[in-house]
Amino acid sequence: MSNEIPVKQIDPATEPSNNKNKIETVELYASRKKIYTREVKGVFQRIRFISLIALMGMFFLFCWISINGQPLIHFDLPAREFHLYGATFFPKDFFLLSGMLIIAAFGLFFITTLFGRVWCGYTCPQTVWTFIFMWIETRVEGSRNARIKLDKAPRSAEKIIKKTTKHSLWLLIALATGLTFVGYFYPIRELIVDIATLNANGWAYFWVAFFTVATYLNAGWLREQVCLYMCPYARFQSVMYDPNTLAVAYDPNRGEPRGGRKKGVAPSEVGLGDCIDCGLCVQVCPTGIDIRDGLQYECIGCALCIDACDEVMEKMDYPKGLIRYATENELEERPSKILRPRTFGYGAALTLMIAVLVFILATRVPAELDVLRDRGALFNYTGQGLVENSYTLKIANLSEIPQTYHIRVEGLDGIRLTSKSKLLVASREHASLPAVVEADPDAIQDTNNTIRFIMTSEQDEALNIVTESRFVGPGQ
């Protein structure tokens, strides 16, 4: 079945009269053409190398770091506990995770409005792993021309050895990635031992294999296809761009018309622009585009074309910056504005959300106290003529250490707790405490009175939880 459909030009204003019946074909599906990237060095490549080392270091090391015996980052799904940087979160804290995700989204919008797709170019996992795989490919198979020649060459011992070595290293990196990712859900030290001794559960093997294969395919084979067709960010980024957004751009005013010339020849002498049409900006692009065609959604903002062009400009004794980070207004010789309504809006929303989240985290109490009143009886009289109510206290210790809690009651003159008022609760455990509260009938003004249970901790002086309940009496 053909993947092509006929398209007929029907606009008479743009079609010559003798070509009105000309039929064009447009391919709906095209096979991927392998992109052979050229290695380049430069300022932005060094910045990417530093960010890559930092990000990969955090990813591969954080699952091995422990604080007080607890992993630095551990998503314990069976126990419904999430440990992040020494703090423990529970399902009831899901709104905090939602808040973090919303903050991350607004942060991405804010950065994109200012600096374009710097996230894609320097910190996106797809970019990070793809550049690692590309680096391995270059080390094993050689330069861009050598790789092209190797792929076109007939099968030989050298070709088999190089291909096998490359794919083996790719799989090794992918396996380490899969093990590390699962290690954030299944303690990494236990996971390695259980995998090696075949004692891990089936899901552990499945997810390690899944992320190994996914990493190998995405970074080794799909590469730019993920950015072009699978990632939604590439499609809606244009909504966040405006004429003041900083993006990788070619300066046509300076570069056109293009043409080759000898080194040392001034462009004005040959009637050309600064662009010598060497094509290096295309050869280094990981998505295979020509930045000289203008801003394109395929551009991930990696700035490799900037490093390549600057290197050529330096050799030609021309000023650098023919391809650079620039705004549309700058290229059209209009003033650019960093501070504008859109950036103010995103910045203000982002600042407010971060402040709210920080406040919630700072005031978050690592304990819970729920008071359940006994509904079996409204109230009872004691032998001394006092009125008593019965309750059940539900106490949760959400901290990382055992806590000894003291409980008292307030709200009526002379009200007191006659049952046990001290309880030791282990870390991340729940406990129930029966409580009996009594008060003098003369102090009870209404049949339904508001009282407060107050819980403090011996280990945490700042902990002070107050929970309201009702005390029922005969009234006046």
Q: List the Cα angle 40/41/44 in 5-degree steps.
A: 110
Give per-residue pLDDT as tens, 58-87. Answer: 999 999 999 877 889 999 988 888 888 878
Average pLDDT of every residue of the chain? 90
pLDDT at 163: 97
Taking residues 273-277, report their average pLDDT.
96
Higher pLDDT, 7 or 151: 151
* Entry pTM: 0.81
**What pLDDT, on a 0 to 100 scale, did the predictor assign at position 427?**
86
With the C-alpha atoms ordered 332, 335, 337, 341, is the resulting torsion angle positive or negative? negative
* CB neighbours of residue 125 within 10 Å: 14
pLDDT surpassing 80 at residue 249: yes
**pLDDT exceeds 80 at position 3:** no
Residue 179 has pLDDT above 80, yes or no: yes
CA gyration radius for the chain? Answer: 33
183/206 Cα distance (integer angstroms):
13
Its sign, for the CA torsion 97, 102, 103, 109, is positive
Percent of the chain with pLDDT over 70: 93
Query: How far apart (Å, rounded) are the C-alpha atoms in residues 398 and 82?
Result: 11
**pLDDT given at position 30:** 62
Is pLDDT above 50 for 48? Answer: yes
pLDDT at 456: 95
Out of 81-95, 154-168, 329-343, least confident range: 81-95
Residue 183 CA to residue 212 CA, distance in Å, equals 13
Please tell me which residue, 341 or 36, carries the higher pLDDT value. Answer: 36
| Over residues 290-302, mean pLDDT | 92
How far apart are alpha carbons 47 and 325 in whole angstroms? Answer: 14
| pLDDT (tens digit per residue) in 192-204 | 999 999 999 999 9
Q: Which of 346, 313, 125, 100 is nearest to 245 (CA)?
A: 346
Query: Above 60 in pLDDT, residue 26?
Result: no
pLDDT band at 435 (very low <50, low <70, confident <90, very high): very high
Does residue 53 sit in helix, strand or coil?
helix
- Burial (CB count within 10 angstroms: exposed 0-12, middle 13-18, buried 19+), residue 99: middle
Q: Is the pLDDT of residue 23 over 70?
A: no
Binning pLDDT at 50, 70 and 90, where does residue 12 land?
A: very low
CB 397 within 8 A of CB 425: yes
Q: How confident is the model at residue 2 (pLDDT cuts 50, 70, 90)?
A: very low
pLDDT over 90 percentage in the chain: 69
- Would you say residue 306 has pLDDT above 90? yes
When pLDDT is cut at 50, 70 and 90, the band that residue 8 belongs to is very low
CA distance linking residue 372 with residue 166, whole number of Å? 64
Supply the pLDDT for residue 28: 55
Task: Give the pLDDT confidence score for residue 69 in this predicted structure.
Answer: 77
Rounded distance, CA 263 to CA 269, Å?
12
Instruction: Give backbone dihedrals phi and psi of 175, rounded to 5 degrees, phi first.
Output: -65, -45
Q: Strand, helix or coil at 439?
A: strand
**Given this model, what pLDDT does residue 6 score?**
47
Average pLDDT of span 110-121: 92
Q: At residue 430, does pLDDT exceed 60?
A: yes
Residue 181 above 80 pLDDT?
A: yes
CB-CB contact of 68 with 87 (8 Å): no
Domains (range + CATH), the chain: 35-364 (no CATH), 367-472 (2.60.40.10)
Lowest mean pLDDT among 66-70, 267-271, 278-282, 413-417: 66-70
pLDDT tens digits along 136-165: 999 999 999 999 999 999 999 999 999 999
Comparing 104-108, 173-177, 285-289, which segment has the lowest mean pLDDT?
A: 104-108
Q: Is the pLDDT of residue 424 over 50?
A: yes
Query: Taking residues 77-104, what's their average pLDDT?
Result: 85
Highest-confidence segment of 139-148, 221-230, 335-344 = 139-148
